Amino acid sequence: MAAIGDHRAAGMEGGRRRRRRDSEPPPVYAALDLGTNNCRLLIARPTADGFRVIDAFSRIVRLGEGMSAADDLDQAAMDRTLEALMVCAEKMARGNVVSARHVATEACRRARNGPAFFDRVRAETGIRLEVIDADEEARLALVGCSSLLGADHPDAIILDIGGGSTELIWLDAGGGATPTMRDFLSLPFGVVGFAESYGCDRVTAATYDAMVGRVVDALTDFDARHDIARHIGAGRVQMVGTSGTVTTLAGILLGLRRYNRRLVDGTYLDFDQIFRISRELSAMTCEERAAMPCIGPERADLVVAGAAILEGICRLWPVGRLRVADRGLREGILLGLMES
């Protein structure tokens, strides 16, 4: 009798455990992206059609500041970044994150003192940073942005203007199916390097044109290798942009008094709008740009550099319009974690 009673109790207890498991919320995942300019975190739960963000964090840390002149991370930049990473660690701990991936990109790829910085980060925050190469960065950006690709154009360009590098992805858009990366190019400059090299206050037309020309020159071989201009001429190509530059220009165009991701993500920028806004911004002082609500003081000295990089891409590849993505690498990380 004791044995039978034990089995019944075990069965009842097992049923209660199963009911608790069925009623438990899905596990929590986190993606941390430490770039040359920004430290960004997303914390999310999986859903039937993707995931739902339950917490987020973004701070401009300028980790790569000064790296256009040296290949070492600056001490003040590392201190700023560590403070942001401590916030991220606290958020992940409070959120009961079960699986996370913490990636670092261009500044950390280049930095000679990167390993010592990673050791400090791990000792003080518990975060283990993973330096990813440009290939993996492009792949994650593609995964994160692919849902914004339309089925009406068979070819696509995805661009990501970062602080220390700019990634371009040339892909088969899949026609509504899974897109396939054909090739990618990582340009060794981004908004931080351009701002340090060309200036960040009011920019002359000649200086701005020099930035645009440098981008066009850097893309010419890639364009010829894939005959991208011919695909564009045949009306086959769509373009998606994911970066602070692109989302900032979209916010300005929409006249937002406060940045709103829901209104920006998925909207479109016509190229003539990009060119007009970019030239207007370049003629302003840094103080004037800082007063604009979608720019603010933290981006005021970088937005013209980003606009020039974007204009160079659009000048060489006149697709006509660009779809704005307020998503990318972190979303790609989350989807990968949830599928594994």
CA 164 – CA 67 distance, rounded (Å):
9
Region 156-160 average pLDDT: 97
Q: Give the pLDDT band (50/70/90) at residue 15.
A: very low
**How far is CA 328 from each of CA 17, 31, 46, 148, 274, rounded to the nearest angstrom?**
38, 11, 17, 11, 21
Q: Give the pLDDT band (50/70/90) at residue 158.
A: very high
Asked whether residue 118 carries a pLDDT value surpassing 70, the answer given is: yes
Asked whether residue 9 carries a pLDDT value surpassing 50, the answer given is: no
- Percentage of residues of the chain with pLDDT beyond 70: 93
Q: Give the pLDDT band (50/70/90) at residue 101.
A: very high
Asked whether residue 18 carries a pLDDT value surpassing 60, the answer given is: no
Domain 150-331: state its class.
alpha beta
Domain ranges of the chain: 28-132, 150-331
Asked whether residue 210 carries a pLDDT value surpassing 70, the answer given is: yes
DSSP tag of 72:
S
Residue that has been written with the tokens 């390097």 in this structure: 193
CA 236 – CA 248 distance, rounded (Å):
27
pLDDT for 199 equals 86
Which segments within 229-285 are labelled E, that is strand? 237-241, 268-270
Region 89-102 average pLDDT: 97
**How far is CA 22 from each of CA 16, 98, 257, rounded to the nearest angstrom?**
10, 18, 43
Region 196-219 average pLDDT: 94
Mean pLDDT of the chain: 91
Domains 28-132 and 150-331 share a fold: yes
Asked whether residue 1 carries a pLDDT value surpassing 70, the answer given is: no
CA 302 – CA 36 distance, rounded (Å):
12
Per the document, the length of the chain is 340
Amino acid (1-letter code) at residue 76? A
pLDDT for 7 equals 34
pTM for this prediction: 0.87
pLDDT tens string 27-59: 999 999 999 999 999 999 999 888 999 999 999
Q: Give the pLDDT band (50/70/90) at residue 70.
A: confident
Q: Is the dihedral of CA 328, 329, 333, 334 positive or negative?
A: negative
Fold held by 28-132: Nucleotidyltransferase; domain 5 (3.30.420)
Region 235-256 average pLDDT: 95
Q: What angle do CA 100, 104, 108 make, to 5 degrees?
A: 155
